[in-house]
């Protein structure tokens, strides 16, 4: 081949942007497909194509001259990925993995078939069937396709709780008593070797139902940490393909670990690996695409990550609190380059590294207090005078 290896990425959001940031260290070309001409990757990619990544023909045209096809979002055309695999291109994750993961019903079936612990559930077509499964109530009704960031998930005690516009098919899952929500990123190399990063503990913002901040490693007993890593590697092994697998788990109040869902791609819960580990989740992906050995997942120190979520309405984004955040030791701001902010939108994140839990907690509190992404047109805070 007389040109650099060409990676075609489906999706041009922040995950793609952070992938490109690392990929720039190597001689690879990254081409990006996204419907939004102002997406975070648009001006960073070697080639940007505006188009629908869930449309088979658009993806086929886009990836025709690529060597590797990767994703940064799950809602892409699996049919196109299957065809591209048949053409002999490297597709990460494997098309059949994505087919299973795109449908929460198939995903749950997969866990059961492979002996992977997961909350009890049933597949149902219509909301009226909820009352026929009293053993699963109270529970969570989840649409099998199309959900993300808590959309498509409804807590239920019976059929009466279900909004009219919440359409099936669904899975009904028994509510489990959660002590902590954990996520573990497992890596599987093209040679079949697997590794897992330390589990992270996700702390949710109850109003927005988005991760508010996360702690790495999770503050759990060492046995739980090891068990969570083994479980994530079991999931990666069961799917069997090269790539990275972000495995979300519940640690129950009686100490069990249950897999909630898996994302076969880079994940919000793995952003801390950029600064805290020799090989980040984005570096692992590149290694997977290039069929290179997997990278070193060990952490140096403790880390926390705070999502910078838009507040105060919509408009051109402005980050408040930069001086305060950057004035702290080992603190790293990432902004995603989104043209517009709106309330609840992920606009960036801040990672902090420290050697003691108290330092981490202090930094998280300070970042949350000062770091705010607001629309530009909001009143400017009074700036202190420089002498």
When the beta carbons of 104 and 229 are compared against ligand ADP, the nearer one is: 104
Token digits of residue 150: 């808590």
Least separation, in Å, of the C-beta of 238 and ligand ADP? 19
Least separation, in Å, of the C-beta of 29 and ligand ADP? 32
The residue to which tokens 């028994």 are assigned: 174
**Is residue 181 near ligand ADP by the rule CB under 6 A?**
yes
**Cβ pair 339, 286 in contact under 8 A:** no
Least separation, in Å, of the C-beta of 201 and ligand ADP? 12
Least separation, in Å, of the C-beta of 9 and ligand ADP? 22
Q: Between the CA of residue 284 and those of 94, 247, 249, 267, 344, what are the distances in Å?
A: 16, 16, 21, 12, 29
Q: Residue 44 and residue 364: Cα distance in Å, rounded?
A: 30
**Is residue 103 near ligand ADP by the rule CB under 6 A?**
no
Sequence-ordered strand ranges (E) for the chain: 5-10, 28-34, 47-50, 68-71, 90-92, 121-124, 139-143, 153-156, 170-174, 178-188, 194-196, 200-205, 210-216, 243-252, 257-263, 302-309, 317-320, 331-335, 346-354, 372-375
Least separation, in Å, of the C-beta of 383 and ligand ADP? 39
When the beta carbons of 43 and 148 are compared against ligand ADP, the nearer one is: 148
**Is residue 212 near ligand ADP by the rule CB under 6 A?**
no
**Is residue 122 near ligand ADP by the rule CB under 6 A?**
no
Q: Residue 316 and residue 138: Cα distance in Å, rounded?
A: 42
Q: Residue 232 and residue 238: Cα distance in Å, rounded?
A: 10
Q: Residue 11 and residue 33: Cα distance in Å, rounded?
A: 6
**Which of the ranges 176-184, 343-351, 352-360, 375-383 carries the binding residues for ligand ADP, by CB under 6 A?**
176-184
When the beta carbons of 175 and 194 are compared against ligand ADP, the nearer one is: 175
Token digits of residue 370: 């000062």
Reference 129, options 174, 176, 169, 175; nearest CA is: 169
> How many chain residues bind ligand ADP (CB under 6 A)?
17
**Is residue 148 near ligand ADP by the rule CB under 6 A?**
yes
**Is residue 116 near ligand ADP by the rule CB under 6 A?**
no
**Is residue 210 near ligand ADP by the rule CB under 6 A?**
no
Contacts with 68 (C-beta within 8 Å, 6 or more apart), sequence order: 5, 6, 7, 8, 89, 90, 91, 92, 289, 290
Q: Which of residues 216-275 bind ligand ADP (CB under 6 A)?
A: 248, 260-261
**Is residue 198 near ligand ADP by the rule CB under 6 A?**
no
**Is residue 117 near ligand ADP by the rule CB under 6 A?**
no
Q: Which of residues 341-370 bind ligand ADP (CB under 6 A)?
A: none
When the beta carbons of 67 and 201 are compared against ligand ADP, the nearer one is: 201
When the beta carbons of 173 and 275 are compared against ligand ADP, the nearer one is: 173
What string marks each residue from 288 to 307 as x (binds ligand ADP by CB under 6 A) or -? --------------------
Q: Residue 77 and residue 121: Cα distance in Å, rounded?
A: 27
Reference 15, options 265, 275, 372, 350; nearest CA is: 265
**Which of the ranges 10-18, 31-39, 43-51, 170-178 carries the binding residues for ligand ADP, by CB under 6 A?**
170-178
**Chain contacts with ligand ADP (rule: CB under 6 A):** 119, 140, 142, 147-150, 152-153, 173, 175-176, 178, 181, 248, 260-261
């Amino acid at each position: 081949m007389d040109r650099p290896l060409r990676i075609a990425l489906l999706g041009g959001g922040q995950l793609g942007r952070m992938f490109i940031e690392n990929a720039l260290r190597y001689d690879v070309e990254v081409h990006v497909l996204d419907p939004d001409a102002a997406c975070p990757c648009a001006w960073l990619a070697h080639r940007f194509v505006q188009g629908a990544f869930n449309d088979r023909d658009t993806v086929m045209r886009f990836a025709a001259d690529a060597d590797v096809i990767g994703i940064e979002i799950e809602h892409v055309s699996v049919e196109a990925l299957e065809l591209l695999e048949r053409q002999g291109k490297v597709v990460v994750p494997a098309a059949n993995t994505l087919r299973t993961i795109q449908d929460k019903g198939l995903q749950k079936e997969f866990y059961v078939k492979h002996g992977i612990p997961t909350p009890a559930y049933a597949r149902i077509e219509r909301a009226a069937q909820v009352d026929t499964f009293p053993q699963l109530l109270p529970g969570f009704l989840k649409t099998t396709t199309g959900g993300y960031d808590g959309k498509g998930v409804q807590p239920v005690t019976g059929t009466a709780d279900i909004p009219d516009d919440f359409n099936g098919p669904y899975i009904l899952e028994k509510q489990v008593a959660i002590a902590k929500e954990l996520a573990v990123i497992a890596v599987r190399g093209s040679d079949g070797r697997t590794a897992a990063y330390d589990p992270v503990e996700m702390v949710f913002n109850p109003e927005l139902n988005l991760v508010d901040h996360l702690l790495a490693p999770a503050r759990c007993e060492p046995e739980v940490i090891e068990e969570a890593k083994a479980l994530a590697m079991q999931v990666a092994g069961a799917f069997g393909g090269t790539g990275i697998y972000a495995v979300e788990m519940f640690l129950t109040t009686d100490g069990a670990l249950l897999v909630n869902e898996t994302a076969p791609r880079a994940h919000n819960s793995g952003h801390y690996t950029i600064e805290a580990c020799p090989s980040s989740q984005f570096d692992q992906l590149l290694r997977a695409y290039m069929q290179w050995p997997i990278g070193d997942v060990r952490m140096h120190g403790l880390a926390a990550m705070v999502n910078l979520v838009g507040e105060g309405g919509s408009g051109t984004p402005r980050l408040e609190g930069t001086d305060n955040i950057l004035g702290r030791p080992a603190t790293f701001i990432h902004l995603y380059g989104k043209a517009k902010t709106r309330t609840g939108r992920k606009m960036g994140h801040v990672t902090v590294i420290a050697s003691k839990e108290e330092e981490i907690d202090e930094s998280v509190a300070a970042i949350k207090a000062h770091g705010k992404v607001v629309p530009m047109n909001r009143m400017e805070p009074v700036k202190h005078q420089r002498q």
